Amino acid sequence: MTQTPAPGAHNAKVMNRFELTKRAVAQLKAEEAVVAGIGNTNFDLWMSGQRPQNFYMLGSMGLAIPIALGVAIAQPQRHVVALEGDGSLLMQLGCLATVAMLKPKNLTMVVWDNGMYQITGGQPTASAAVADIVAVARGCGLANSAWAADEDDFDRLFAAALKDGGPTLIAARIDDKPGTGTTDRDPVQIRQRFMVGLGVRK
Amino acid sequence: MTDTQTQTAPWHQVVLETLKRNDVRLVPYVPDRVFTPLIKALHEDSFFTTFPCTREEEAIGIVTGAWMGGMRAAVLMQTSGFGTIPNAIASLVCPSQIPAVIFVSERGTLGEFNLGQAMVCRTMRPVLDALGIETHTITRHDELAFIVDRSIKQAVATQAPVTFILSPLLTGGKVFAA
């Protein structure tokens, strides 16, 4: 089906998740943590290069932002980025209210909105037609929430977010291209590498 | 606390002191009437970072992130809340070997008045058993500090979650007018 953009996103360009993921990762210069949600969000982060500070969530759909919030609380000196899909976020919208209440300066949330549950067969999400992710985030109290108008705007929003002025939410309309690869499936190895990357383990 | 103080302190103070002794600093929760004095005491103690979550799953995610970031954390919930988290435990906590410390205020037994609570309570222990999660139902005040203290240490040492089911026999439970 053709995606009809949510009201606030009608001027936003439809971009590509892998391209934007690479652009985001290219800006990470201070060993920022990145927590990516289940499915293609994860896969494109994996394919962008396997930083030790990346955590790839293999199950628990919807928990990328809560996991990132936990990291942000534990390590307030480190910036933490959550990458999440629209379907996953719709499953756990309440976490936006919790983040807004706690106001972690070091947390950035990026939402890839393709308006579909892509990995299960492309069924439409509520954000395909009616739910505006940025409006929801603002309604939860996340004032620093915006749609990325195009790639350059995404770069600018992401760079500003990394300056610890958060919490920040950036939503991007993306196309229906599938993920570009798949992660390894070893949760213990993923968790251990992440803890080493965060300096918690040697 | 001395042993004598532990014996006379209310259950929620024993839990708080035991968390502190084990450097468990982060306590996200979904509220419960019986846990109210514990939640209030956690908020009043600057040692702890504690806040309500919108769902128990969310708290499980936060605890997982915190552990990976080097901070020990526990989560508080009610029996019905436990009923919402099997997927998060089975697909995140267990396979990633996260020592999540889970306190459940037990509803659904010993004078429950809500059939829904009684039914969901019956799902809790089978789920915990199926996942092989270390679980203690705590009924006695004199065993509380020992069980919680030793089990948190075990959770951290073995990188495995632990669940404490706090029985109405310990907490008094939720009383209703019959």
pLDDT tens-digit series, residues B122-151: 999 999 999 999 999 999 999 999 999 999
Range of the domain at A101: 7-197
B88–A74 C-beta distance less than 8 A:
no
A95–B58 C-beta distance less than 8 A:
yes
Helix, strand, coil shares of chain B, percent, nearest 5, are 50, 20, 30
C-alpha distance from B103 to closest chain A C-alpha (Å): 18
Portion 22-81 of B in contact with A at CB < 8 A:
26, 49, 51-55, 57-71, 73
CB < 8 Å to B91, chain A: 58-60
Q: Does A68 touch chain B (CB under 8 A)?
A: yes
Domain assignment present for A93: yes
Q: What is the ipTM of this complex?
A: 0.96
pTM above 0.95, yes or no: yes
C-alpha distance from A1 to closest chain B C-alpha (Å): 30
Residue B159 tokens read as 């990188």
* 3-state SS, one letter per residue, for chain A: CCCCCCHHHCCCCCECHHHHHHHHHHCCCCCCEEEECCCHHHHHHHHCCCCCCEEECCCCCCCHHHHHHHHHHHCCCCCEEEEEEHHHHHHCCHHHHHHHHHCCCCEEEEEEECCEEHHHCCEECHHHCCCCHHHHHHHCCCCCEEECCCHHHHHHHHHHHCCCCCCEEEEEEECCCCCCCCCCCCHHHHHHHHHHHCCCCC
Residue A85 tokens read as 């899909």
Q: Does A27 touch chain B (CB under 8 A)?
A: no
Q: Containing H/E element for B96?
A: helix B94-96
Domain assignment present for A2: no
User: Between vectors from CA B121 to CA B119 and to CA B122, what angle results, nearest 5°?
Assistant: 70
Q: Does B91 touch chain A (CB under 8 A)?
A: yes
Domain assignment present for A133: yes
The pLDDT value recorded for residue B4 is 77
Coil vs helix vs strand at B55: coil
A65–B49 C-beta distance less than 8 A:
no
CA B96 to chain centroid, in Å, comes to: 20
Domain assignment present for A72: yes
What residue type is A5 in one-letter code? P
Establish whether the linkage from the previous residue to A167 is cis, with ω within 30° of 0.
yes
Q: Does B97 touch chain A (CB under 8 A)?
A: yes
User: Does pLDDT of B115 surpass 50?
Assistant: yes
Q: Taking the domains of chain B in order of start, what are their residue ranges?
A: 3-171
B63–A98 C-beta distance less than 8 A:
no
Q: Which of B54, B69, B70 is facing A95, going by the closest CB pair?
A: B54
Mean local confidence (pLDDT), B27-37: 97
In percent, how much of chain B has pLDDT > 70? 99
- List the single residue in B with minimal CA-CA distance to A189: B96
C-alpha distance from A61 to closest chain B C-alpha (Å): 8
CB < 8 Å to A190, chain B: 96
CB < 8 Å to B88, chain A: 60, 63
C-alpha distance from A69 to closest chain B C-alpha (Å): 6
Mean local confidence (pLDDT), B57-73: 98
The pLDDT value recorded for residue B137 is 98
The pLDDT value recorded for residue A1 is 46
- CATH fold, domain B3-171, is Rossmann fold (3.40.50)
C-alpha distance from B136 to closest chain A C-alpha (Å): 25
Residue A87's CATH number? 3.40.50.970
For residue B83, CA distances in Å to A84, A122, B89, B123, B157 come to: 25, 29, 11, 7, 27
Sorting pLDDT into bands at 50, 70 and 90, what band is B110?
A: very high
Mean local confidence (pLDDT), B45-51: 98
Domain assignment present for A147: yes
Are the C-beta atoms of residues A149 and A11 closer than 8 Å to each other? yes
Domain assignment present for A1: no
pLDDT: which is higher, B6 or A163? A163
The pLDDT value recorded for residue A49 is 95
The pLDDT value recorded for residue A201 is 96
Q: Which of A74, A92, A191 is facing B66, going by the closest CB pair?
A: A74
A33–B69 C-beta distance less than 8 A:
yes
- List the single residue in A with minimal CA-CA distance to B55: A94
The pLDDT value recorded for residue B2 is 76
C-alpha distance from B171 to closest chain A C-alpha (Å): 28
Per-residue pLDDT of chain A (202 residues; tens, 9 = 90+): 455 667 677 789 999 999 999 999 999 999 999 999 999 999 999 999 999 999 999 999 999 999 999 999 999 999 999 999 999 999 999 999 999 999 999 999 999 999 999 999 999 999 998 999 999 999 999 999 999 999 999 999 999 999 978 899 999 999 999 999 999 999 999 999 999 999 999 9
Mean local confidence (pLDDT), B82-94: 98
The pLDDT value recorded for residue B6 is 74
Q: Which of B57, B58, B70 is facing A75, going by the closest CB pair?
A: B70
- List the single residue in A with minimal CA-CA distance to B159: A188
